[in-house]
Structure formats: C-alpha cells, structure tokens
Structure 1
C-alpha cells in the first residue's frame, strides 16, 4: 500500500512514528470527452485572456484575489517555507472525545495509519488506550499543503485518521431554504412510519450495498468493446516540407511588407500654395 505521508503522532510524552495510507479509493468510471467529428480527445489549454496566448507551468504564479481583479502574489518559496514549518511539527493529539459527540457532517476523508520503524509498541499502546477508554483523539496535521483538523480512532485493529471540517467550513443549516419548523402529524401516520422503520431495521452489512450504476456502465462498455463498437483517435496530421516551406515564405513576405518603410510624400512648394490661395 502506497505511503503518502510519514510523521510522528504524540500524546503526552509518547511519540509514535507512523506512515499514512489512503483508506478509500475512487472507483468512478472515468469518461473522456471526444470531438464528435474525428473522435479525438479534447485538449484543454491554459490561455491568458489578455495576452491571448497559451502559458506554460513556468509562466504561472499563485495569487489571492482580495478584491475584484486585485491580487496578492504568493511565491512558491513563501508557500514552501510555511508548509515545511508545519510538516516538521509532530502531530499532537490535543483532546480526547467520544466519537458520538462529532456529527458525521464534519467527517471528510479516511486514512490508515501503520507504525514506522521502531513504533510498533507505542502504536499498540495508543490503540489499547483508545479501545479501553472508548475515546478518540483530536489532532491537527498538514496534508497536501493544508492544515487539517483530524481525529484518530480504531477501525478493525488499525489506527485510522479521519480528517474533519473546521466549524467555519460547515454551512449554517439556518441558510437552507423551506425547512418546515413544526408539522402537524396524525398519530396513525407516525405509528405507521415507525412500524415501517422497525420492519426495515437490520445490522449494517456494507458488502450488500453495490454501486449498480457503475456496474451497469462497466457492462455496457464491455459489451460495446466486444462487439467492436469502438473508435481509434486519429493522430494529429503533420505538415509536409512543402507546406512548411510555403508557410515560411509567406511569413517572411508578410514581415517584409510590414517592415518596409513607407515612401515619403513630396513637399508642396510654398509659392504654389500662396498662388492657389490668392485665386
């Protein structure tokens, strides 16, 4: 399993060298956008709207827009220094809370933790302490250039880091429109709804839930592939030497016309001008 982060987690005076691994993976079926006419993949380019030309990675800087079209430029060196300052710190568990105290709306992404060299005993100590106490740890850590609030808990004998949103990242539920405050319900309606819930109540077995759309999409792709309903993207045509030569000659001709000085206009004689004016 790929290691995406190495560091140290501490609680009190106990330091645990750990490795972090992604606990989940995205299995969405990725579809490319093709040009309908020639079935070639669409290319997305980074273009400056002012200069009207494509820009490369080396020509791009990062900026924060603090007002309309006004930016603070942030150098890569500045960002790298900030990132290093945070990454060099040990991930310290700052609080212990009950898992049920955190609403699921705060949870974001899961990562497995494994002990790094020499960390097995301390890893086991934290795992046992969390299991015996029924608590989870709350900590801060840097992941992909962002300081994350996270919890550390046990999942099937492994320690897991769950990144969670900061409170200001969770939108106020009061902003949701058209939520009814009080709804009058007949007792019979409520009893029937509760009875239905009781009939459908069971133990959670995650293996029985399948992504039916993804399965059907994969089957459709395989069916089309096996029945030769496929296409091959065409290579971009390369101009031949004649085209290159004509293009170079035309470009040279256009430039020569542009750079050619305009003929000077002959100066009018003063006497002629006065004579015409007198007439």
Structure 2
C-alpha cells in the first residue's frame, strides 16, 4: 500500500494542467530507532511543552509561533496569518524553466519525491509533461509550498512518473572558502598521480546500491540480540588510522593490493545486500526486515520490563 501523499495540487506547464500527488521517495522507518528511558524505572521519557518562565505546561491550542527580535521580544504570528500568505505554489507547481541536469550543483539537492497523477483524470496531460521532459533530456524547475515553506523543485522523468528533488536557496549554501582557503598548496609529482590513477582504474566499477551494507545497522542488530540473550557486551577495539610517512611507498603498496584483488576475484567474498545482513537479524525480526509482522513478533518475544538486563 502506497504511503499517504505529502502534498496534493496541480502541475502546470503553460496552459497544460493536471492534478498530482507528491510522495516521499525515501524512508528511514526500517532503521533501528531508540526510545529514551528512565534508567531507574525503565519507563519511557515523556516530553511536555512548558512555559519557560512559569514552568507550567501549555496546551497545544495556546501555542503560537514567534519571531525573536531580541532577548525578550518576540513577534507573534498565528496559523491563520501564515495561511493568508497565499502563494500560488501552495496548490500549484508552475514549471518556470528547463535546465540541464549537469547545471544543478549537488550542494543544492535536499530530498527526492515521487509525483504521479491524483485520481482518474489528468493522466494524458501528465504524460505529455513527463514525455516532454524525458525527450528533451531536461530538468523542469518549479516551486511548491511544503512544510510551511516555499521550495524550489527539480522534476525529472522516471518510469511512468516523475521524480522531484527539493532544492536549497543560495543563502542556504555555505561559502566553501571558509573551509578550503587554509588547505596547503602542495606539489604532486606525475609518478604519484600515475600510481593513484592505476588504483582508481583497478577499483572502477558501476554503482549498484544493492551491494552496499549498512554495517552500523548490522552491528546494532547484533548488539540488541546479545543483550536479549543476556550476554555481556565486550567493547571492540576501535580502528586506528596509520600515519603515512612515505606517500610514494604507500601508493606503491596500495597499487600492489589493488592488483592482487583484481587477479583473484574469486577469493573475495560476495558483497552482501542490505536486506541480508547479520545472521541474528532473522531471529530477531527487527524493523530492518521491513515487515510489520516482524515487529509484532519481536514485541511478543521481548522479556517483561521487570526483567530488564543491562550491559
């Protein structure tokens, strides 16, 4: 079942308009998450909204937004006043221009969304816009209001739908000079570059997301399984970075290692896919498995609160 749409409205290219719905293209719900607990009782921590001066809890209907002018002065803005800032992009994504994908600086990318027709009408208009974007090999730039702010959105054709990526405004991107100016100017010899290029050539491949494993998520599954089994948690030795004294020698040794890897691919273990990680994961049936029934099974197997174990 598809998740609930984050936004519904219209997509418009000149006089061509169609109703659309926008859905998040990514999710972190399958990652392991933690609750904060009271160490003494094992109970969950509850957060309350309180008045900073009186310490009394404030009801949601009595809370308004405020812009801080100085230390003790705020300008209150109500929900109704914010809604009255009526921008056309609140309900319509107007395509303003088309650009080449390579012109969009990666620093401006925020998050992706899927767009599809909303309901049974407008599929023909949606298809015209989609196929125009696809055939022209362009990215359509528009605006929409999402999470109470107006965003720039870049639209590209994907399969039968569109993928829209929210973009940052220029004032949100920091100046790299603040971080790069004090990097030392060093002279790199051609021999060093030749060795480095050889390493890159030996390790070149195609990007296949399925072969990457979230090692931290796997380690969390292992940790929780061990605690459920009542085992003592032993700290692991942290990896230490080596101090490179002779850069040329380090490059030569790296080239030798890369050559050996390429010469004996059969000796390498096949990369694990994200869905097939730790052996204990199947037994534990944690959210990483991506099934609600697994979470329910884990809850049934969990020991009673009074029998909490600590490392």
Q: TM-score, normalised by structure 2?
A: 0.69
Does residue 202 (structure 1) correspond to residue 205 (structure 2)? The answer is yes
Secondary structure of the structure 1 residue equivalent to 2:141: strand
Alignment check: 8 A CA contact 1:224 1:230 kept: no
* Residue of structure 2 equivalent to 1:232: 305
- C-alpha displacement at 1:230, in angstroms? 4.4
Higher strand share: 1
The whole-number CA distance in structure 1 between the counterparts of 2:306 and 2:146 is: 38
The whole-number CA distance in structure 2 between the counterparts of 1:67 and 1:55 is: 23
The whole-number CA distance in structure 2 between the counterparts of 1:138 and 1:131 is: 14
Match of 1:92 among 91, 94, 117: 94
Secondary structure of the structure 2 residue equivalent to 1:197: helix
Question: 1:198–1:156: structure 2 CA closer, same or farther, 3 Å change rule?
Answer: farther
Alignment check: 8 A CA contact 2:89 2:150 kept: no
Secondary structure of the structure 2 residue equivalent to 1:53: coil
Q: Which runs of 4+ in 1 moved over 6 A?
A: none
Question: 1:192–1:179: structure 2 CA closer, same or farther, 3 Å change rule?
Answer: farther
* Residue of structure 1 equivalent to 2:179: 176
* Residue of structure 2 equivalent to 1:132: 135
The whole-number CA distance in structure 2 between the counterparts of 1:155 and 1:124 is: 11
Alignment check: 8 A CA contact 2:89 2:143 kept: no
* Residue of structure 2 equivalent to 1:107: 109
The whole-number CA distance in structure 1 between the counterparts of 2:18 and 2:101 is: 22
Alignment check: 8 A CA contact 2:90 2:145 kept: no
* Residue of structure 2 equivalent to 1:253: none
- C-alpha displacement at 1:118, in angstroms? 1.4
* Residue of structure 1 equivalent to 2:274: none
Please identify the structure whose Cα radius of gyration is greater: 1
> What is the aligned-residue RMSD (CA, Å)?
2.2
Alignment check: 8 A CA contact 2:131 2:157 kept: no
- C-alpha displacement at 1:220, in angstroms? 3.0
Question: Structure 1 regions of 5+ residues with no counterpart?
Answer: 235-279
* Residue of structure 2 equivalent to 1:215: 218
CA deviation map 1:27-76 (0-9, x unaligned): 43211111111111122222223112222212322100022222111012
Secondary structure of the structure 1 residue equivalent to 2:171: helix
* Residue of structure 1 equivalent to 2:157: 154
- C-alpha displacement at 1:178, in angstroms? 5.8
- C-alpha displacement at 1:120, in angstroms? 1.2
* Residue of structure 1 equivalent to 2:44: 41
* Residue of structure 2 equivalent to 1:28: 31
Match of 1:12 among 11, 14, 17: 14
Question: 1:53–1:212: structure 2 CA closer, same or farther, 3 Å change rule?
Answer: same
Secondary structure of the structure 1 residue equivalent to 2:140: strand
- C-alpha displacement at 1:80, in angstroms? 2.1
Q: TM-score, normalised by structure 1?
A: 0.77
The whole-number CA distance in structure 1 between the counterparts of 2:22 and 2:174 is: 29
Question: 1:34–1:161: structure 2 CA closer, same or farther, 3 Å change rule?
Answer: same
Match of 1:3 among 5, 13, 31: 5
CA deviation map 1:74-126 (0-9, x unaligned): 012101222x5445542111010001110111110111011123121112112
The whole-number CA distance in structure 2 between the counterparts of 1:183 and 1:164 is: 35
93-102 or 126-135: bigger deviation: 126-135
- C-alpha displacement at 1:132, in angstroms? 1.2
